[in-house]
Structure 1
Amino acid sequence: MAVIAVTRERRSGETRVAAVPETVKKLIGAGFTVVVETGAGTAASYPDADYEAAGATLAKTAKDVLAKADILFKVRGPEADELAVLKPGTIVVATLNPYQDKATLDGLAKAGATAFAMEFVPRITRAQVMDVLSSQANLAGYRAVIEGAEAYGKAMPMMMTAAGTVAAAKVFIMGVGVAGLQAIATARRLGAVVTATDVRPATKEQVESLGAKFLAVEDEEFRNAQTVGGYAKEMSAEYQAKQAELISSHIAKQDMVITTALIPGHPAPRLVNAAQVASMKPGSVIVDLAIEQGGNVEGAKLGEVAVTRNGVKILGIPNLPGRIAADASALYARNLFAFSGLFLDKEGQFAPDYEDEILKAALVTQGGAVVHPNLKG
């Protein structure tokens, strides 16, 4: 049966792992053989002994792990030492950051890998269990509020004490996708007064269902601002100006702003400018979830906490799911386990059907070339 390899993540700061003991056991039950590199799960609190107990074989180096691998599971794209020992035709499944990380795609093509970018899994009903963007964004939205609350330095809920009342924090969520909705829910659980905005009209009801107040310029462009795939469209300069005017006065009153807006294949849209940052009170916090794609906030710096002259903290923390590595790995591993089922035929034999709509949509390199239509040229 096909051999699935799981190697240690080599990208700086990446703490997650692509398979956990739970999914290793399920993969073996489905007929796969699983080989795991020693220490692959350590940073996510999954010791080698747990992988062995689940039925995996441990190997000390990437070369040993990949020697007989038919499939490689990764969180991030493989590095040079892994690409160098990949057998031509090896199936690689990972989040490949395909629009930004051209070097990894070229490396995969040169290695002859058949690579799938999990970001390209289509948003259809049968693929929901494989949706890594949603599973990881959910945790990112939660963690953004936790990081923001730690940096804020004041209480989040209203507290009534004999010494007086502590006012509840005011939290504004910009961008109400999966991450934004979880951020709303988390901030509400912590007792904050929450408002939110998004360019997609369908989100208004979702925001209000979580007990937050919705804020947006609700004109004709707003009513048509959602793609068929459920993503936000990039808005016109005119709309952005009107929206900025509406939210500028709102931002000035907030204790915390969390921005989550991303558009696949494009730099993150600018949601908060320097003037809006300057209008906030000293000690206020902004958390920019889009920092790895350029950021939504003027002045945000990747991997840093930028403190403005007026004492506003802008958190540019990358890889927020990696700060909850155990849970993030478990969810991601379940996504990959579901995806692996597409490599099996009805009899349970290893026979990938590359005409399957999910595999076809996610395929980025094959036969020595980059093959995805959105990535050519």
Structure 2
Amino acid sequence: MVTTIAVTSEPADEPRVAVSPDTVKKFTGLGALVRIEQGAGLRSRFSDEAYRAAGAEIVSRAEALAGADILLKVRRPSVEDVKALKPGAIVAGMIDPYSDRDGLDALAGSGATLFSMEFMPRTTRAQSMDVLSSQANLAGYKAVIDGASMFGQALPLMMTPAGTVPATKAFIMGVGVAGLQAIATARRLGAQVTATDVRPATKEQVQSLGAKFVAVEDDEFKQAQTAAGYAKPMSAEYQAKQAELVANHIKNQDLVITTALIPGRPAPKLISRAMIESMKPGSIIVDLAAERGGNTEMTQPGATFETPNGVKIFGPLNLAATIAVNASSLYARNLFAFLETMIDKKEKVLAVNWDDELIKGTLVAKDGQLVHPNLATKTA
């Protein structure tokens, strides 16, 4: 029996789309029928004609959803859309599992088999499916580009007959995927780059990219990383020492990019109001943790504003989506790599291995119930 995959357009504030013409062609090669809502890919520059040429059917939203076996999304779908699918259909996307718990409960109650791509295990096998990394990579790049544009000065050192233009000083706070890409991009543009993180393993990564590492490297610092690769919450004593070091460093920086974000928790406050007030007029802060409240005490999520002392703070909510062509292409590949594990290549039918670590790691709801251990209690 042919597996039917539905793809619909996203909300007005989400320009990304869940499949590209390239992944449509791969899905059809596995025997699937891909039905895409008319115009769903236009904001990512994927035309209906390109999708048709790859083997997809272009239909209305209702026709795409009707009785489909799988729904691929960027954002969490509506309960109404999910109820139009085949009973128990697979829904895969960035479900944002820690927000709007009542909405998530309602979606689980629809009976859909719900997978949250944010829960993808951080393993070697899952690297091609890691949506957080693919999107954070782009966000780190775009943060530097947007910050440089807002700064209004040249980033590289320039030696001219009229005099020397000094290099911009860029400080990256949080050296995960986004932070590493921000370091690499700022270095390519010629900035003088420093970076900080509480995880000791990041020091070598920072230095390998040609940046200087800044951190209080005491005994607590040496134990500050979880088995999953995330930063551990630090003691008040360590936070005070680190804050003092950062405060002395940040006052001389031109461009600061913060990326510290722990899934399911409010973003840690890395930059105080006093630190911001110590910065030079014209300095820029790009806060990539704005969606969880921000890494600064003055971040306004979704907005850009200028402080009384002339520092601009930019708190984007969906920065990767501002380069939707690339973001959608990478996201679509992540989804295909994941869905490919559920399809029997020989019989060309759905064959989900419920014991697979990737399936168990990302499965949020099944048979009307939330099943993921991270969602055992309600979270705001």
Deviation at 1:28, TM superposition (A): 0.6
Contact 2:30 2:343 in 1 (8 A): no
Deviation at 1:210, TM superposition (A): 0.3
Q: Which residue of 1 aligns with 2:91?
A: 92
Helix, strand or coil: the match of 1:156?
Answer: coil
Helix, strand or coil: the match of 2:257?
Answer: strand
Contact 2:69 2:85 in 1 (8 A): no
Q: Residue type of the partner of 2:186?
A: A
Q: C-alpha deviations, 1:166-192, integer Å up to 9, x for none?
A: 111000000000000000000001100
Q: Residue type of the partner of 1:5?
A: A
Unpaired segments ≥5 residues, structure 1: none
**Is the deviation greater in 94-103 or in 364-373?**
94-103
Q: Which residue of 1 aligns with 2:6?
A: 5
Cα distance in 2 for residues equivalent to 1:52 and 1:346: 23
Helix, strand or coil: the match of 1:286?
Answer: strand
Q: Which residue of 2 aligns with 1:215?
A: 214
Deviation at 1:35, TM superposition (A): 0.5
Q: Residue type of the partner of 2:10?
A: E
Which aligned pairs between 1:195-214 and structure 2 lie closer than 5 A? Answer: 195-214=194-213
Q: Residue type of the partner of 1:233?
A: K
Q: CA RMSD in A?
A: 1.1
Q: Residue type of the partner of 1:49?
A: E
Deviation at 1:86, TM superposition (A): 3.2
Contact 1:16 1:326 in 2 (8 A): yes
Q: Residue type of the partner of 1:360?
A: K
Q: Which residue of 2 aligns with 1:276?
A: 275
Deviation at 1:264, TM superposition (A): 1.6
Cα distance in 1 for residues equivalent to 2:100 and 2:327: 22
Cα distance in 1 for residues equivalent to 2:292 and 2:256: 18
Contact 1:234 1:263 in 2 (8 A): no
Cα distance in 2 for residues equivalent to 1:170 and 1:231: 27
Deviation at 1:80, TM superposition (A): 4.6
Q: Which residue of 1 aligns with 2:59?
A: 59
Q: Residue type of the partner of 2:195?
A: A
Deviation at 1:346, TM superposition (A): 5.8
Q: How many residues align?
A: 375
Q: Residue type of the partner of 2:365?
A: T
Cα distance in 1 for residues equivalent to 2:118 and 2:179: 18
Cα distance in 1 for residues equivalent to 2:354 and 2:344: 12
Contact 1:342 1:359 in 2 (8 A): no
Cα distance in 2 for residues equivalent to 1:80 and 1:150: 40
Cα distance in 1 for residues equivalent to 2:252 and 2:320: 29
Q: Which residue of 1 aligns with 2:329?
A: 330
1:48 and 2:48 equivalent? Answer: yes
Q: Which residue of 2 aligns with 1:133?
A: 132
Q: Which residue of 2 aligns with 1:317?
A: 316
Deviation at 1:200, TM superposition (A): 0.5
Cα distance in 2 for residues equivalent to 1:345 and 1:5: 19
Which aligned pairs between 1:357-372 and structure 2 lie closer than 5 A? Answer: 357-372=357-372
Which aligned pairs between 1:203-352 and structure 2 lie closer than 5 A? Answer: 203-345=202-344, 347=346, 348-352=348-352
Cα distance in 1 for residues equivalent to 2:115 and 2:79: 18
Helix, strand or coil: the match of 2:276?
Answer: helix
Deviation at 1:376, TM superposition (A): 1.9
Contact 2:30 2:345 in 1 (8 A): no
Deviation at 1:90, TM superposition (A): 1.1
Q: C-alpha deviations, 1:318-364, integer Å up to 9, x for none?
A: 11110110001000000000001121236343111111111011000
Q: Residue type of the partner of 2:353?
A: D
Q: Which residue of 2 aligns with 1:165?
A: 164
Q: C-alpha deviations, 1:131-184, integer Å up to 9, x for none?
A: 111101000000000110111011111112222111110000000000000000
**Is the deviation greater in 173-182 or in 95-104?**
95-104
Cα distance in 1 for residues equivalent to 2:74 and 2:181: 22
TM-score, with length taken from structure 1: 0.97
Deviation at 1:317, TM superposition (A): 1.1
Helix, strand or coil: the match of 1:254?
Answer: coil
Contact 1:83 1:107 in 2 (8 A): no
Contact 2:193 2:211 in 1 (8 A): yes
Contact 1:299 1:306 in 2 (8 A): no
Unpaired segments ≥5 residues, structure 2: none
Helix, strand or coil: the match of 1:374?
Answer: helix
**Is the deviation greater in 346-355 or in 285-294?**
346-355
Contact 2:79 2:107 in 1 (8 A): no
Q: Which residue of 1 aligns with 2:14?
A: 14
Cα distance in 2 for residues equivalent to 1:177 and 1:193: 19
Helix, strand or coil: the match of 2:58?
Answer: strand
Deviation at 1:65, TM superposition (A): 0.7
Runs of 4+ with deviation above 6 angstroms: none
Cα distance in 2 for residues equivalent to 1:231 and 1:27: 34
Helix, strand or coil: the match of 1:143?
Answer: helix
Helix, strand or coil: the match of 1:126?
Answer: coil
Deviation at 1:313, TM superposition (A): 0.2
Contact 1:86 1:111 in 2 (8 A): no
1:185 and 2:215 equivalent? Answer: no
1:116 and 2:101 equivalent? Answer: no
Q: Which residue of 2 aligns with 1:174?
A: 173
Deviation at 1:87, TM superposition (A): 3.3
Cα distance in 2 for residues equivalent to 1:38 and 1:114: 25
Cα distance in 2 for residues equivalent to 1:147 and 1:346: 43
Q: Which residue of 2 aligns with 1:77?
A: 76
